[in-house]
Chains A and B, each alone.
Chain A
């Protein structure tokens, strides 16, 4: 399995992914035209034919055995440029009077565009059949290698918006208690429109004045900053790379935004550049050994590749690859590669 930038020929495969992703993965619209536009956007970004802040990098996880696209992930260079980027900032208001012994701190949601200009860890979706052999880890963490290799293409800070809590019926308590009052629409419909690139239109319908949290339903209050149960593993992964809740939530489902400075990402800090050597004796990756794997990427923007190799492949300065691995990475002996442990060493 390897990571590469998406290509023209991926369109049908991407549509299949979108169809499978369902509610909650808002940036994968189940709409071929929109998906094609997204694909073009990514191609133009890798070719640097559009301005830096507008760039969107889409990566595909490909099965080299059958050339099937098993998953997709994305990096957004800078958010809030074409559209306006909205969050609620979870702040506080204090109502106090010494005279009558009142001092009350009230959580308050402030509509903000504060995260404008941050880079974003965006879309990620992996087909259910491929949720094994560390594929999810490879797909997700490959992006940090891209950030480590090309930091100049991104802002100093990067965020990830986490899917907020919704129940088995797809109902979001946060939406029901807040957004719902401002236009009659099911959460799944709003979510669909958002995926079609209408997020900003919906955002414009949301309340502009601060929202006092105690005025929301107890259910809604309880899910502010909470992720969807299925998103817990993704959150744990981001946290292990240094991401943390930054006090901003999604205006629709109340899901948290997490962020980190690009230079402080674990994989960025700890990755090293090695000389590539070819050896058929290099140990094969053992996917059952969580801490025995390395992410390896080539250092080419347009033909970016990432694979997983056995930790034992790394020497002091040289990383030993089989010819097949080198072919997948599209490198020759003597080229340089970047590598880092797939997971942080401490068991986090």
Chain B
């Protein structure tokens, strides 16, 4: 059975293998073992602090097949984008250059560096085994995060943001980066990306030019890539759009990828959640649901079929109850898949 749970140090090699297998860039998960273990340690602290914690926390989840013990993906949440430091984006704005006298008016798109999204809830670190991309496992891994937030709503800012990978090619050539960042860093995109993961994105962002960037001054290709996602992120975008996310005015300052925004309580998963007392039993059939326990530090989320009735309790299959560490009478949360 596929289960999403908090990462632990035991997952280190599994995550490493996964990162080497996935094509997608995951800036927030470094491939270096030391750095990765630091991330897991941070996440561990986060889960331990549970709902009582304050200050920024980072949660890292893994998708595990409990039958084989194999890891198939990672996903994460930062309670505060920037983790207490500035979180950088470009905001795509417009300036009207007009003269009454000359009867001229034209709108000029301009990119402004912005910290506005600092402190929002940030979904991040999503990586999945390519074989799982087109399965329910994809939904489970991504949406389990909403289930976790539902179990601990006070821990999270209502506004959720997701940075979507921008456009770059197989060789790591990123037109937006070449037109903007590269002129100030003298580093190619992959090297800059590497530093983002081993130093921090904030660290790198502080080197980004502070003055606004006039979009018409960028090469056409770079300008056209603003707020466009990498093809590898199509599925992620579709899922998030279904959840109720939309493209914001913000883009990633490195690759120009879009930042999607959503409100926790209006997300499809969250708004359809129901809470009931579990009644483990032999059940068959029904509709597919995401289901999770209500533990802040020992969170588990899986997919199951349920038949939802009108009472305060709900029957759940025994193997699911076991996988979620649920006993009779424990509260569970479930939301239609």
Contacts and interface: CB of A to CB of B under 8 A. Distances in A.
Contacts of A193: 102
A97 B207 contact: yes
Contact of A104 (B104, B108, B179, B186): B186
Contacts of B101: 198, 201
B224 interface: no
B183 A212 contact: yes
A22 to B, nearest CB: 22
A8 interface: no
B97 A102 contact: no
A210 B179 CA distance: 16
B281 to A, nearest CB: 58
Contacts, number: 81
Interface in A160-217: 177-178, 181-185, 193, 198, 201-202, 204-207, 209-212, 214-216
Interface in B313-327: none
A106 interface: yes
Interface string B193-232: 0010001000100011111111011100000000000000
A91 B300 CA distance: 57
Main secondary structure on A side of the interface with B = mixed
Interface in A50-106: 93, 95-97, 99-100, 102, 104, 106
B98 A205 contact: yes
A108 interface: yes
Instruction: Pick the most buried of A100, A207, A211: most chain B CB atoms within 10 A of its CB.
Output: A100
B110 interface: yes
Nearest to B101: A201
The range of chain B's interface size is 20 to 34
B209 A106 contact: yes
B216 A210 contact: no
Contacts of B209: 93, 95, 106, 212
Contact of A215 (B98, B102, B218): B218
B241 interface: no
Contact of A183 (B106, B207, B214): B106
Contacts of A99: 199, 203
B184 interface: yes
Q: Which of B179, B185, B214 has the most chain A CB within a 10 Å cutoff? A: B214
B131 interface: no
Point out which of A95, A184, A210 has the most chain B C-beta atoms below 10 A from its C-beta.
Answer: A95
A136 B186 CA distance: 48
Contacts of A207: 97, 108, 214
B68 interface: no
A182 B187 CA distance: 30
A95 B113 CA distance: 15
A209 B218 contact: no
Interface in B156-186: 179, 183-186
B99 interface: yes
A97 B203 CA distance: 9
A205 B214 CA distance: 13
Contacts of A210: 211
A212 B218 CA distance: 11
A207 B207 CA distance: 23
30 contacts: A95-B208, A95-B209, A96-B207, A99-B199, A99-B203, A100-B187, A102-B186, A102-B187, A104-B185, A106-B183, A181-B108, A181-B214, A182-B97, A182-B108, A184-B106, A185-B104, A193-B102, A201-B101, A202-B102, A204-B99, A205-B98, A207-B108, A207-B214, A209-B211, A209-B214, A212-B183, A215-B183, A215-B213, A215-B217, A216-B217
Interface of B: 97-99, 101-102, 104, 106, 108, 110, 179, 183-187, 195, 199, 203, 207-214, 216-218
Per CB-CB distance, the 8 closest pairs between chain A and chain B, nearest first, are A181-B216, A214-B183, A95-B184, A210-B211, A215-B217, A209-B212, A205-B97, A201-B101
